[in-house]
Structure 1
């Protein structure tokens, strides 16, 4: 691929442009918001100059409801030889392509399974799609050349192409993306009117649960509108489980021994089933979570301290499989959990302790205020 056009310079469109630029692709940018387009250009994502002839591929980084009309307009202008989009729903855009009178042979639906809660071109990153699935949803009319160009796009952006039916895709993202966003938003809404004392003690757990609730409400409203039925199906099942869990908690709060026993069994089942689901979406594929152990280390809130910790672990010769960080603004240090292979955990803890780091076996409860200034050497 030598040239491409990106229509829409939000976080995803700008990330696509930056990723293509890493491989020397000449990228032409456009956006209905000229400020966003100029910002993306200033970031080195591409040029605002109109291409002199058809580019190899045009990427439509626009909301789902606009894919059909933007595609038809771009095809009439002869912008590209092939077209794809990055909208997070696929069935409705496919239908709207036909209604808009666009040529379906030169279009293939696409959805890189990566994103950020931030919006706008400044949230763009060239590595956003590295190692992430990039779903392609060809229609029966999609031409082979169009499919090949979309496969090349995914590869150049560092993604892993996955070919799916559009309806199957929408059911999948309802489960793994759209419903979780609503659940996160509902949990975050509990905090909007919470007392200051409750918010002050918020830890990393609630931050993890509510992180994606910071997404653009306007964009997410359009996404949910385009996939409403599939999301409702997921939330129906979630609501049933939630109701069962609430009943169990009410039972535990009561005094009836038999009901308390049944409630405890229900909660145990809920929690155990949750760990099974969590294991299936482990961040690092191929790493058995049952073989990992956490080594908690207290790290001073100083520039470079975290980098020095990682360097120390590397010098010890242990591979970090994952990292969890808990940091409160009112504390002089953070708690960093290093997830390593179980066989290496004990030795790593001992060696870090000998090197001056504070290994907190019980998290914040051990030596929190007495921790030495490890990592300041």
Structure 2
């Protein structure tokens, strides 16, 4: 691949353009908002100049509802040898293109499984996709050259290619992305009119659950409008679980011992199923989750504290597998939770204690 055209210079389009430009590909940028394309170009993502002729690959980074229109226009102009889109829904756009009678041998639907709560070109980074799955949904009609161009793009972005059927992809993202986002928003909505005294008690748990609720509502309306059926099916199942859970909790309020016992059994079953599902979430490097031990360290909110603690862990010969930070409400301090292999926990605790760090059990 020597040339590319990125149509749509938001977070995903600009990030892909930055990665391609960094690897020597000449990238042309286009957007319905010229100012957004100008910003992406200023960041080094490419040039606003139109290409002299067909490019090797056109990357359509438009909302799902607009993908078919943008792709059809680009194909009619003969803008590229191959065409892909990066929308988060795959089945609908493909069916729209088929209904228009277009030759889809030069097209493949794709979806990089990466993003941020922020949107727009200023939020873009060349390493946004690094190590992340990038779904490809070829059909029997997809030209081999186009598939190879798509794989080359994924390689330039240092992502991990995953081949799936388009409709299977849409059901999967409904489960792992779209439905959780709505549930996160529903939980966060409980905080909108909550008493300030209650909100001040927020800890890491509520932060984890509501983090993705900070995303742009306009973007999510576009996404959910393109994949409503699978998301609604999943929420129906969640609603049934909620009803059962409410009944179990009400039973725990009963004066009848048998009903209380039944309620406890119902809650235990919900928690058990949650445990069974959570352990299936891939862990580090996509492997099966591993049990790490946590070494919790109290740190002051001062420059260089995190760098020091990681450096001290390194000098102790301990690899930090994961890290979480729990911020203390109203205080200039926080609790850094270092996840390490169980056999390394005691050595790390001893080394950090000797260096003056405050360890919390």
Q: Which residue of 2 aligns with 1:188?
A: 188
1:99 Cα deviation after fit? 3.0
Aligned residue pairs: how many?
A: 361
Partner secondary structure for residue 56 of structure 1: strand
- State whether residues 296 and 360 of structure 1, in contact with CA within 8 Å, keep that contact through their aligned partners in structure 2: yes
- State whether residues 133 and 161 of structure 2, in contact with CA within 8 Å, keep that contact through their aligned partners in structure 1: yes
Give the Cα separation in 2 of the matches to 1:286 and 1:41. Answer: 34
- State whether residues 69 and 100 of structure 1, in contact with CA within 8 Å, keep that contact through their aligned partners in structure 2: no
Q: Which residue of 2 aligns with 1:367?
A: none
The worse-fitting range, judged by mean Cα deviation, of 298-307 and 140-149 is: 140-149
Q: Which residue of 1 aligns with 2:272?
A: 272
1:215 Cα deviation after fit? 1.4
Q: Which residue of 2 aligns with 1:356?
A: 356
1:162 Cα deviation after fit? 0.9
Pair 169,206 (structure 1): closer, same or farther in 2 beyond 3 Å: same
Q: Which residue of 1 aligns with 2:346?
A: 346
Give the Cα separation in 2 of the matches to 1:306 and 1:287. Answer: 27
Does residue 97 (structure 1) correspond to residue 128 (structure 2)? The answer is: no
Give the Cα separation in 1 of the matches to 2:323 and 2:102. Answer: 47
Partner secondary structure for residue 255 of structure 1: coil
Does residue 222 (structure 1) correspond to residue 219 (structure 2)? The answer is: no
Does residue 109 (structure 1) correspond to residue 109 (structure 2)? The answer is: yes
Give the Cα separation in 2 of the matches to 1:121 and 1:239. Answer: 37
Deviations 1:50-100 (A, max 9, x none): 111211111100011111111111122221110001101011000111234
Q: Which residue of 1 aligns with 2:47?
A: 47
Q: Which residue of 1 aligns with 2:63?
A: 63
Q: TM-score, normalised by structure 1?
A: 0.92
1:327 Cα deviation after fit? 1.2
- State whether residues 117 and 214 of structure 1, in contact with CA within 8 Å, keep that contact through their aligned partners in structure 2: yes
1:253 Cα deviation after fit? 2.6
- State whether residues 68 and 98 of structure 1, in contact with CA within 8 Å, keep that contact through their aligned partners in structure 2: no
Q: Which residue of 1 aligns with 2:31?
A: 31
Give the Cα separation in 1 of the matches to 2:101 and 2:66. Answer: 13
Alignment of 1:16-27 (within 5 A): 16-27=16-27
Partner secondary structure for residue 338 of structure 1: strand
Partner secondary structure for residue 279 of structure 2: helix
Pair 297,289 (structure 1): closer, same or farther in 2 beyond 3 Å: farther
Q: Which residue of 2 aligns with 1:331?
A: 331
Alignment of 1:199-238 (within 5 A): 199-238=199-238
Q: Which residue of 2 aligns with 1:149?
A: 149
1:330 Cα deviation after fit? 1.5
1:145 Cα deviation after fit? 1.0
Pair 286,150 (structure 1): closer, same or farther in 2 beyond 3 Å: closer
- State whether residues 28 and 51 of structure 1, in contact with CA within 8 Å, keep that contact through their aligned partners in structure 2: yes
1:309 Cα deviation after fit? 0.7
Structure 2 spans left out of the alignment, 5+ residues: none
Partner secondary structure for residue 83 of structure 1: strand
Q: Which residue of 1 aligns with 2:284?
A: 284
Give the Cα separation in 1 of the matches to 2:214 and 2:286. Answer: 30
1:360 Cα deviation after fit? 0.7
Does residue 158 (structure 1) correspond to residue 158 (structure 2)? The answer is: yes
Pair 290,70 (structure 1): closer, same or farther in 2 beyond 3 Å: closer
1:224 Cα deviation after fit? 0.9
Deviations 1:85-124 (A, max 9, x none): 1101011000111234433111100001111111111111
Partner secondary structure for residue 241 of structure 2: helix
Give the Cα separation in 1 of the matches to 2:53 and 2:187. Answer: 50
1:129 Cα deviation after fit? 0.8
Structure 1 spans left out of the alignment, 5+ residues: 362-377
- State whether residues 68 and 102 of structure 1, in contact with CA within 8 Å, keep that contact through their aligned partners in structure 2: no
Partner secondary structure for residue 323 of structure 2: strand
The worse-fitting range, judged by mean Cα deviation, of 32-41 and 268-277 is: 268-277
Deviations 1:254-282 (A, max 9, x none): 33211222222222221122122222114
Deviations 1:152-172 (A, max 9, x none): 111111111111111111111
Deviations 1:9-58 (A, max 9, x none): 11111111111122111111111112211111111111111111211111
Give the RMSD, CA atoms, in angstroms.
1.4
1:290 Cα deviation after fit? 4.6
